[in-house]
């Protein structure tokens, strides 16, 4: 048999469907949302001038600068200490080089003195051991 009420809605499949039909939002609301989103994006990309920023604790605001200055000072002190150690190391090397130079000079002087003594001894021996022909007067004819 055919159903005599053909205009009746079919509700057998809509028992659990309680979602109301979607309402269309007004164009003014959509434009307002788009304007707000664009304003937020413009603020993020273009940035603010920080005139609205409130400083709760001025000491806390300057603390990073103080810490940064202290870090710079500590780094400068460490660099100065390293430079001083290098300078002291150079001074020690210079002193060692000076001592080696002085020792070399002393050794050279000792060698010269020894050479002079040997030369003087040789001359003394030559003077002591002379042949009579060298000391005799030249013969005349």
Per-residue pLDDT of the chain (141 residues; tens, 9 = 90+): 566 666 766 666 555 556 666 677 788 888 999 999 999 988 888 876 665 555 556 555 555 665 556 666 777 777 777 777 777 777 777 777 777 777 778 777 877 878 777 777 777 777 776 655 555 566 565
Cα–Cα distance for residue pair 85/92, rounded to 1 Å: 10
Cα–Cα distance for residue pair 56/59, rounded to 1 Å: 9
On whether residue 14 sits in a domain, the answer given is no
pLDDT of residue 106: 78
On whether residue 56 sits in a domain, the answer given is no
On whether residue 104 sits in a domain, the answer given is yes
On whether residue 35 sits in a domain, the answer given is no
Structural contact between residues 55 and 61, judged by C-beta atoms closer than 8 angstroms: yes
On whether residue 76 sits in a domain, the answer given is yes
Per the structure, the complete domain to which residue 112 belongs is given by: 64-126
Contacts of 55 (CB under 8 A, 6+ apart): 61
On whether residue 121 sits in a domain, the answer given is yes
Instruction: Name the DSSP class of 30.
Output: H
pLDDT of residue 134: 57
The total number of structural domains that make up the chain? 1
On whether residue 137 sits in a domain, the answer given is no
On whether residue 83 sits in a domain, the answer given is yes
């Amino acid at each position: 048999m055919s159903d005599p009420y053909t205009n009746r809605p079919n509700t057998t499949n809509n028992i659990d469907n309680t979602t109301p039909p979607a309402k269309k939002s007004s164009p003014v609301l959509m434009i307002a949302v788009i304007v707000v989103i664009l304003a937020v994006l413009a603020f993020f990309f273009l940035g603010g001038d920080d005139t609205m920023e409130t400083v709760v604790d001025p000491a806390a605001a300057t603390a990073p600068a103080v810490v940064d200055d202290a870090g710079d000072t500590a780094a400068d002190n460490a660099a100065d200490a390293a430079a001083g150690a290098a300078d002291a190391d150079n001074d020690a090397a210079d002193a060692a080089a000076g001592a080696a130079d002085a020792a070399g000079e002393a050794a050279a002087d000792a060698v010269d003195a020894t050479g002079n003594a040997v030369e003087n001894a040789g001359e003394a021996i030559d003077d002591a051991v002379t042949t009579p022909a060298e000391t005799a007067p030249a013969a005349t004819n």
